[in-house]
Structure 1
């Protein structure tokens, strides 16, 4: 049996169902860990997104499990050593939604620069103040990127097309020199990026080293009036420190597609913070990206189970 305990696009679900194997699809099952464990008793495959913690405890309830499929890129909810110890394969969608996330980052910068929603709401309320909503141009501004993997490079390419200067650092030293040179990306240290960025966009994985990478000390190094965008992992940002930087006006604004925890609790410190825009982890959820992610992971899982894709 294949258990899918979080949302999968129709293309992926249909491919699983055509395999002839039993498929249990319950996109809310991740919320009830006891029920999930009960179903895993006879499952040979488990497909998750980012909400299900796949660890040794969960694997103990799945004696027949042969493969885990991750509908996305980040693997911080997957305990890979536990999978390896059990000989369970892992399939995930590396790079598939990178274009969608890159476009989200550009949309976030344009929103912060031009405030179309605020201008439209002003007119809807009867106003016509042309001086209040002029905004500013992205051309000539400095975009700082922390992380130059699939997403970071695509953001850089799009930002350069807007005439932005791009400075970047990558803890994993991923960039290929020729690509970086061709795109006119300026490589420097993490501190150097933070100190220069008028827009700072995060594209690093969550590790012990990157947890709370953006905290009071790093926020203080950012230029006054700059902006933060996070589409990577919520734990990269110290929420209370970000809230303080926005309330004091040191940061002019921030867009977060990821928070810690998710969903955002009603009493979270980021609720009601001025000039902060939070979206529900949707940067990579375009229709196009999800169709491809679902199909690719479904096919990978079926191959591991010995079913012709």
Structure 2
């Protein structure tokens, strides 16, 4: 059995170096085979995963020598962090490594929605030249509502502010005089008020028991009929059936989803809607962000295996 087990496709210069320095087993598809994973983790000291590997109590109990769980990414909803903490296992993640890439994709999706770029491209490829049909809207002067104003939400808001947008925020952990709100001249609202007042709503909420299916049909029907919804956080915070119904009833103008309730998703009416942009959870997948993510997790694994303290430790 290996000292380090990598169960998903996590590659880079730092991973190559870790493989040279330690006994590493790399299997990009091991997360799909739970029984084999339990066998291979028995004597493992370090586990490196993305978001597909379910690191639950049963898997943790199968690894009595485990010292560190390193998550290549921000969200830890696939890791039982409390149980790992109880067992004395260090849990590391990369809270800042891919934030900028997620923020940039969010802005890109907003531009694509408001300027109807995907529809215009497809129409042009089939021989069309329908300029009036694809008349869009400017970002300037529009109200941009962010659900969640943590690191990614704040970076996204800063970039939207450069377009001359008015920033609105809904975040239960912030007060109206929070520094990030003051810097952006942002207004803190309740979720219901933000949905009603925004021209574009972007979700940047982590997945927790409180946020699971936080946004339902009743929420989407509060939005302006010419407003757009974007989600680059976690698919499970949205009730997709409710969003689909709201779109079919023209309660909002369109949506862009980089994350889905189930990944990979099943066929859905969303696939047939011209005003919906669907991408395969690529927000963090830039060359630069992935290099930072891999550097971070490999360094923390290296530190723990050498008896030192990890840098990006999650404290439940």
With the shorter chain as reference, the TM-score category is: over 0.9
Q: Distance in 2 between matches of 1:189 and 1:206?
A: 19
Displacement of 1:167: 0.3
Normalising by structure 1, we get a TM-score of: 0.95
* Maintained 8 Å contact 2:5/2:47: yes
Q: Distance in 1 between matches of 2:29 and 2:281?
A: 16
* Residue deviations 1:265-302 (CA, integer Å, cap 9, x gap): 23x46443452222111101111000010011110011
* Residue deviations 1:36-63 (CA, integer Å, cap 9, x gap): 1111011111000011111110012111
Runs of 4+ residues deviating >6 angstroms? none
1:100 aligns with 2:97: no
Q: Distance in 2 between matches of 1:274 and 1:246?
A: 11
Aligned partner of residue 277 in structure 1, secondary structure = strand
- Corresponding residue for residue 243 of structure 1: 244
Q: Distance in 1 between matches of 2:172 and 2:270?
A: 27
Displacement of 1:124: 2.4
Matched pairs, number? 307
1:206 aligns with 2:232: no
1:103-118 → structure 2 map (5 Å cutoff): 103-118=104-119
- Corresponding residue for residue 181 of structure 1: 182
Q: Distance in 1 between matches of 2:144 and 2:10?
A: 33
* Maintained 8 Å contact 1:148/1:174: no
- Corresponding residue for residue 83 of structure 2: 82
* Maintained 8 Å contact 1:15/1:295: no
* Maintained 8 Å contact 1:219/1:245: yes
* Maintained 8 Å contact 2:119/2:274: no
1:123-162 → structure 2 map (5 Å cutoff): 123-162=124-163
- Corresponding residue for residue 265 of structure 1: 266
Q: Distance in 2 between matches of 1:169 and 1:53?
A: 30
Displacement of 1:234: 0.8
Displacement of 1:122: 2.2
Aligned partner of residue 122 in structure 2, secondary structure = helix
- Corresponding residue for residue 281 of structure 2: 281
Displacement of 1:175: 8.2
- Corresponding residue for residue 314 of structure 2: none
Structure 1, gaps ≥5 residues long: none
- Corresponding residue for residue 8 of structure 2: 6
Please provide the CA RMSD for this pair.
Answer: 1.7
Q: Distance in 1 between matches of 2:225 and 2:167?
A: 18
Question: Are residues 56 and 302 of structure 1, via their aligned partners in 2, closer, same or farther at CA, if it must alter by over 3 Å?
Answer: same
1:18 aligns with 2:20: yes
* Maintained 8 Å contact 2:258/2:278: yes
1:231 aligns with 2:232: yes
1:304 aligns with 2:290: no
Q: Distance in 1 between matches of 2:18 and 2:28?
A: 15
* Maintained 8 Å contact 1:2/1:43: yes
Normalising by structure 2, we get a TM-score of: 0.93
